C-alpha cells in the first residue's frame, strides 16, 4: 500500500449501541459491585477491555458458516470441515474439539499428568496452572527474566538453562510434558521466538519428554516472529504458524482468542494412544468426539476463523492497534510493560502509584479510576489476583507486579474508541497522586479476584 496509515481491514456489518453512563450512575455501579469491576453489567461500561477472550466480532463468512452448521450428533459435515482446518494448520493427526481452552487442558492433564509430577511452562495461564495443580502436580514458570520497562523482542521465551536444571533436579520421570504458551498471556502477551521453540524442542527431544503448545494466540505470535526474527520477514504467517506447531507434539487451544469465535477450543496431538484416552474422557465430560461440547455451527465458525486470523492485513491491523494505544499513552509518560503485547497493553500501576502499597492494591485502584472517570473497564493483574492473604490477618504477600491489563477485543473497536481510551488513561495518570488504595472486606478462598468486595482506604 502506498500510504502509511494502517486501516481496520474490514467495514462494519452489524453494530451494537454503546453509551457512557452518567458519573452518578458509574459511582452507584461501583458501590453496588463492591468496587469489583467483574460485578459491573456490560451496559454500565462504554469500552470493555476486560478480556480479549470470546469478545471479538465474527465475519460475515463466519456467520454464513453458522447457517451451514450440520447438527448431526455423530460425524457431522461441520466436524470434518473443522478437523481438516485444524489438521491443515497444525499438522497434528488427532483433533479433539472442546467447548473452550480449559476443557482441553483438563482432559490433556488428566491423561498425561500424575500426582507428584512437575510441568514446566514459560508462564502458566491461570486455568492451566489450576488444572496442573488439580492433578497434584507442580506448575513451574521458567520465563526468561526481564524488567517491565525493558524493550526486548521475545520476552515470552523460556529460560533454556532453567528448563534443563529443573528436569535434572526433579528427574525426567516426573516431567510428563513441557508446555510453551504462545504468546505468553500471563507474561504480558509477549511472544516466543522460533529459535526458542527449537531450543525447547531440542531439550525435550534429548530427555524424551513430549512438548505441547498452549497455542491460544498462535497467529499473533507468528506475526511477531515475522516482524522481529531474522529469516522470517518473507514467510507468510501461515508458514510460520505451521513451523511453530511442527516443533511440538500437540497443542491446547482456546479458540476464543485467535480462533476468532465467541466460544470453542480444541486439543490436538500426534500420539494416537493418548488421543484415545483423551476421547474417552471427552465423552464423559464434553460430548461425543465429533462435537466435544460445541454445536455444528460453532465448528464451522471456528474453521473459518482459523483461516481469517492468518490474513496479513488482519494481523498487521491487530498488532498495530495494540501498539497504537501503547504509543499514545507512553508518549504522555504512562508507564507500561514494554513493548506492547499482542492482545493487550499492561499499565504498570506500581510505577504510577508508588504511594499506594501492594496490600492496598494499586492496580485495583487504577482500574477503578479508569472506570470512574471514563467508563472504561480493564482488569487488575496484581496482588488481588496473585497475592496471598496472610492467615494471621496481616498484609497480603504481594504479587511480583501490579498491572492493569487493557485487552483489546478482535475487530470490535475502532481507532476513535482507542483514542478515547488513551485520553481517559492519560487523564487518570495526571491525577495519580490524588488516588488512594482499597482494602478487601470479603473474599473467596480461591480465585478471589472474581468476587472480592472492596472499600476505599481514605487517609
Ligand atoms: C484463555 C486462555 C486459556 C484458557 O482458555 P478458556 O477458553 O478461557 O478456557 C488457556 N491458556 C491461555 C494462554 C489463555 O489465554
CA–centroid distance, 215 to ligand 1, in Å, is 9
CA–centroid distance, 186 to ligand 1, in Å, is 10
Which three cell numbers, joined as nine digits, stand for 82?
473443522
243 and 384 together in one domain? no
451 and 435 together in one domain? yes
Protein residue closest via CA to atom 6 of ligand 1: 101
CA distances from 340 to 302, 337, 348 (A): 27, 7, 12
CATH label of the domain that carries residue 206: 3.40.640.10
CA–centroid distance, 24 to ligand 1, in Å, is 35
CA–centroid distance, 357 to ligand 1, in Å, is 30
In a domain, 6, yes or no: no
Domain final position from 308, 328, 345: 308
As a 3-state breakdown, the chain gives helix, strand, coil percent values, each rounded to 5, of 45, 15, 40
- The CB density around residue 110, as the number of other CB atoms within 10 Å, is 17
Domain final position from 308, 340, 362: 308
226 and 278 together in one domain? yes
Please work out whether the CB of residue 259 comes within 6 Å of at least one atom of ligand 1. no
Contacts of 73 (CB under 8 A, 6+ apart): 288, 291
In a domain, 14, yes or no: no
In a domain, 330, yes or no: yes
In a domain, 125, yes or no: yes
In a domain, 16, yes or no: no
Q: What stretches of 342-382 show up as alpha helix (H) in DSSP?
A: 349-352, 362-374
149 and 275 together in one domain? yes
378 and 258 together in one domain? no
Residues belonging to the chain: 459
109 and 30 together in one domain? no
Task: From 366, 363, 320, 364, select the one nearest 343 (Cα to Cα).
Answer: 320
Please work out whether the CB of residue 183 comes within 6 Å of at least one atom of ligand 1. no
Its domain, for residue 437, covers 23-52+311-457
38 and 76 together in one domain? no
215 alpha carbon, distance to own chain's centre: 10
CA–centroid distance, 6 to ligand 1, in Å, is 29
Please work out whether the CB of residue 185 comes within 6 Å of at least one atom of ligand 1. yes
Please work out whether the CB of residue 364 comes within 6 Å of at least one atom of ligand 1. no
Q: What is the pLDDT of residue 458?
A: 85
65 and 154 together in one domain? yes
Domain final position from 258, 275, 308: 308
CA–centroid distance, 216 to ligand 1, in Å, is 7
Backbone angles phi, psi at 346, to 5 degrees: -110, 110
Please work out whether the CB of residue 123 comes within 6 Å of at least one atom of ligand 1. no
State how many domains the chain has: 2
295 and 322 together in one domain? no
Q: What stretches of 57-115 show up as alpha helix (H) in DSSP?
A: 60-68, 77-90, 101-112
Look up the pTM and report it: 0.95
Q: What is the pLDDT of residue 445?
A: 83
In a domain, 8, yes or no: no
Q: What is the pLDDT of residue 267?
A: 98
**Strands 379-381 and 376-377, sheet pairing:** unpaired
Protein residue closest via CA to atom 12 of ligand 1: 125
361 and 429 together in one domain? yes
296 and 378 together in one domain? no
CA distances from 136 to 139, 186, 441 (A): 10, 22, 31
The answer for 164, left when phi > 0, alpha when psi is -120 to 50, beta otherwise, is alpha
Q: Give, for 164, the enclosing helix (H) or strand (E).
A: helix 160-170
In a domain, 199, yes or no: yes
Per-residue pLDDT of the chain (459 residues; tens, 9 = 90+): 679 899 999 999 999 999 999 999 999 999 999 999 999 999 999 999 999 999 999 999 999 999 999 999 999 999 999 999 999 999 999 999 999 999 999 999 999 999 999 999 999 998 899 999 999 999 999 999 999 889 999 999 999 999 999 999 999 999 999 999 999 988 789 999 999 999 999 999 999 999 999 999 999 999 999 999 999 999 999 999 999 999 999 999 999 999 999 999 999 999 999 999 999 999 999 999 999 999 999 999 999 999 999 999 999 999 999 999 999 999 999 999 999 999 999 999 999 999 999 999 999 999 999 999 999 999 999 999 988 888 888 899 999 899 999 999 999 999 999 999 999 999 999 999 999 999 999 998 878 999 999 999 986
What is the C-alpha separation between 437 and 249, in angstroms, rounded? Answer: 46
CATH label of the domain that carries residue 445: 3.90.1150.10
Counting from 1 in the atom list of ligand 1, the atom nearest the Cα of 185 is 13
In a domain, 10, yes or no: no
Please work out whether the CB of residue 256 comes within 6 Å of at least one atom of ligand 1. yes
Protein residue closest via CA to atom 5 of ligand 1: 101
274 and 321 together in one domain? no
Amino acid at each position: 500500500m502506498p500510504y502509511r496509515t494502517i486501516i481496520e481491514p474490514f467495514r462494519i456489518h452489524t453494530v451494537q449501541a454503546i453509551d457512557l453512563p452518567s458519573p452518578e450512575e458509574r459511582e452507584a455501579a461501583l458501590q453496588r459491585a463492591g468496587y469489583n469491576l467483574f460485578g459491573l453489567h456490560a451496559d454500565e461500561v462504554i469500552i470493555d477491555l476486560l478480556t480479549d477472550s470470546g469478545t471479538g466480532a465474527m465475519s460475515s463468512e463466519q456467520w454464513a458458516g453458522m447457517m451451514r452448521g450440520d447438527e448431526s450428533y455423530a460425524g457431522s459435515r461441520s466436524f470434518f470441515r473443522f478437523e481438516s482446518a485444524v489438521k491443515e494448520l497444525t499438522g497434528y493427526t488427532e483433533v479433539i474439539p472442546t467447548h473452550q481452552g480449559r476443557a482441553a487442558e483438563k482432559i490433556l492433564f488428566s491423561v498425561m499428568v500424575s500426582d507428584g509430577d512437575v510441568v514446566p511452562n514459560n508462564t502458566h495461564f491461570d486455568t492451566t496452572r489450576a488444572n496442573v495443580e488439580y492433578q497434584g502436580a507442580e506448575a513451574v514458570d521458567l520465563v526468561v527474566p526481564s524488567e517491565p520497562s525493558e524493550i526486548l523482542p521475545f520476552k515470552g521465551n523460556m529460560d533454556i538453562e532453567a528448563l534443563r536444571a529443573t528436569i535434572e533436579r526433579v528427574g525426567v520421570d516426573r516431567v510428563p510434558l513441557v508446555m510453551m504458551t504462545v504468546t505468553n498471556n500471563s507474561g504480558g502477551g509477549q511472544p516466543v521466538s522460533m529459535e526458542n521453540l527449537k531450543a525447547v524442542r531440542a531439550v525435550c527431544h534429548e530427555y524424551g519428554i513430549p512438548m505441547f503448545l498452549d497455542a491460544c494466540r498462535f497467529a499473533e505470535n507468528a506475526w511477531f516472529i515475522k516482524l522481529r526474527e531474522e529469516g522470517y520477514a518473507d514467510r507468510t504467517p501461515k508458514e510460520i504458524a505451521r513451523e511453530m506447531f511442527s516443533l511440538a507434539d500437540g497443542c491446547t487451544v482456546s479458540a476464543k482468542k485467535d480462533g476468532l469465535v465467541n466460544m470453542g477450543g480444541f486439543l490436538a496431538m500426534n500420539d494416537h494412544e493418548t488421543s484415545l484416552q483423551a476421547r474417552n474422557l471427552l465423552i464423559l465430560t464434553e460430548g461425543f468426539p465429533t462435537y466435544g461440547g460445541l454445536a455444528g455451527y460453532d465448528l464451522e465458525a471456528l474453521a473459518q476463523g482459523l483461516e481469517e486470523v492468518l490474513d496479513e492485513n488482519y494481523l498487521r491491523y491487530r498488532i498495530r492497534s495494540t501498539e497504537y494505544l501503547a504509543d499514545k499513552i507512553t508518549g504522555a509518560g504512562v508507564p507500561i510493560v514494554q513493548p506492547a503485547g499482542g492482545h493487550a497493553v499492561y499499565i504498570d500501576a506500581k510505577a504510577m502509584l508508588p504511594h499506594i502499597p501492594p496490600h492496598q492494591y494499586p492496580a485495583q485502584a487504577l482500574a477503578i479510576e479508569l472506570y470512574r472517570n471514563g467508563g472504561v473497564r480493564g482488569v487488575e493483574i496484581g496482588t488481588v489476583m496473585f497475592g496471598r492473604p496472610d492467615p494471621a490477618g496481616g498484609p497480603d504477600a504481594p504479587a511480583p507486579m501490579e498491572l492493569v491489563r487493557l485487552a483489546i477485543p478482535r475487530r470490535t473497536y475502532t481507532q476513535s474508541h482507542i483514542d478515547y481510551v488513551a485520553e481517559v488513561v492519560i487523564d487518570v495518570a495526571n491525577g495519580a497522586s490524588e488516588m488512594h488504595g482499597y482494602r478487601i472486606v470479603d473474599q473467596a478462598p480461591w480465585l478471589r479476584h472474581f468476587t472480592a468486595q472492596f472499600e476505599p482506604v481514605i487517609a
